[in-house]
Amino acid sequence: MDVLLQNEWIQTVANYSVTILMLVVFLAVFETVTRYNNWEEIKRGNVAVAMATGGKIVGTANIFAATIQHADGLLVMLMWGIFGFALLLFSYFIFEFLTPGFKVDEEIKNDNRAVGLLSLLLSVGLSFVISASITA
């Protein structure tokens, strides 16, 4: 396997495949912690949910990009990616905790685009912090 992963083409496909697989898993985890169905809401045209979900996708991809650049193999990349995702998920709970005047999930489900945009920016912004920490 190590010999195969020395080929840049195969390494790229492996990194891409692991990232896509983990993105699907992480989106399923986010789906379980939110009080709404992401894909049904997006299908209905809920822009706030689309922004929040898009932020999670970009944030997760950013974390995996950092792990790919600095990991010494797929297993290490996967471990750092999972750790980074856990921090991103924790950030979502902190966002909910720091807004006691309203429930983030409820506002996003109700298509409050200001909250959706803030969720997107929080996910992307903190993914840069997580990525910088991974690469340090």
Digit-coded pLDDT (tens) for 124-133: 999 999 999 9
**Mind listing the pLDDT tens digit for each residue in 38-95?**
999 999 999 999 999 999 999 999 999 999 998 888 889 999 999 999 999 999 999 9
CB within 8 Å of 14: residues ≥ 6 apart: 5, 74
Residue type, 57: I
What pLDDT, on a 0 to 100 scale, did the predictor assign at position 78? 92
81: left (phi over 0), alpha (psi -120 to 50) or beta: alpha
For the question of whether the overall pTM of this predicted structure is more than 0.95, the answer is no
Mean pLDDT computed over every residue of the chain: 92
Domain ranges of the chain: 2-135
The CA distances from residue 105 to 19, 21, 53, 61, 128, in Å, are 26, 25, 12, 22, 23
